Amino acid sequence: MKRLLLTLLVALLSPFEVYGYEGPLFDAMAQLDEKPGFEKAISRVRDAGIYKIALFARSREYLGENEKALLNLHRDNKELIVLGAPKYFLHKNDIGKSFTKRTLKNIDKYKYSFVGEILFTHADKCNTTSRQHESGEIYRDPSGKGFADFLVKVSSKNIPVMTHWEFYAWERDWPKFSKLFLDFPNQKFIIPHIGFGSPKQAKLVLSTHDNVYMTISKKNKKKKKHL
């Protein structure tokens, strides 16, 4: 059985009054297994009183892998699921033209509301096309021409783009991402897990760039559960 095919962001409506902000809180990040796990996971989401989930497919082997499964799940849960364009693991050092072409086409075709995670830095994952050092880090330069071309084209869609960027190589990556966010001021970006960074780093990113948002989910590897 393939594992972890779909990834979701869970949007909770806070039952408490929040000073200065009364909108939805983008809180947890979870991953669903292949059927019949979908139905069980959706049932648990509903039982927990979740208002909306933002869900995107994960394509490990080819573009569009698992996309049909996501669309079928959405068909039966339209009021719950907010669709996102699939995450693709096999980018090389930059975003390819085929990804850009397919993603833009399907944003229109399937009415995707955001672009699922694009992996730029990831300390504990690797593949043969992007290994940079012994720890097996995934690394893609955010200033790549392919990604810039993708952003130029996707910015007209007026939907957020998720960028998986971890803050462990702050001095290397912060200047590049900061410039990226400045170069595309009308494009909204989402950084999941608050970049696994410190409160000071998160505050700097959010206070410097009005077009950047973060989710607060973090995986506790020791307990193997999401907080």
Chain centroid offset of residue 129 CA: 21
pLDDT digit string (tens) for 21-38?
A: 566 565 666 666 565 667
CATH code of the domain in which 173 resides: 3.20.20
Strand-pairing partners, residue 183, are none
Q: What is the pLDDT of residue 2?
A: 41
Domain that holds residue 111: 6-226
In the structure encoding, which two tokens stand for residue 203, read together? 């505050």
Residue 142 located in a structural domain: yes
pLDDT at 134 over 90: no
Residue 1 located in a structural domain: no
pLDDT at 176 over 80: yes
Cα–Cα dist 194/212, whole Å? 11
Residue 57 located in a structural domain: yes
Residue 75 located in a structural domain: yes
Total structural domains in the chain?
Answer: 1
What are the CA-CA distances from residue 206 to residues 27, 32, 191, 198 (Å)? Answer: 17, 30, 10, 12
Residue 147 located in a structural domain: yes
Q: In what order do the strands lie in the sheet with 114-119?
A: 25-32, 6-12, 52-59, 81-88, 114-119, 161-164, 189-191, 212-214
What are the CA-CA distances from residue 102 to residues 46, 63, 154 (Å)? Answer: 32, 8, 12
What is the rounded average pLDDT of the residues 31-59? 79
Chain centroid offset of residue 165 CA: 10
Chain centroid offset of residue 209 CA: 18
Residue 96 located in a structural domain: yes
Q: What is the pLDDT of residue 212?
A: 95
Residue 40 located in a structural domain: yes
pLDDT digit string (tens) for 57-74?
A: 888 888 888 899 889 999
Q: What is the pLDDT of residue 145?
A: 93
Q: What is the pLDDT of residue 157?
A: 94
Q: What is the pLDDT of residue 58?
A: 85
What are the CA-CA distances from residue 27 to residues 22, 41, 154 (Å)? Answer: 14, 17, 25
Instruction: Tell me the three state secondary structure of residue 87.
Output: strand
| pTM score | 0.80
Residue 169 located in a structural domain: yes
Q: What is the pLDDT of residue 203?
A: 93
pLDDT at 154 over 90: yes
Q: What is the pLDDT of residue 64?
A: 84
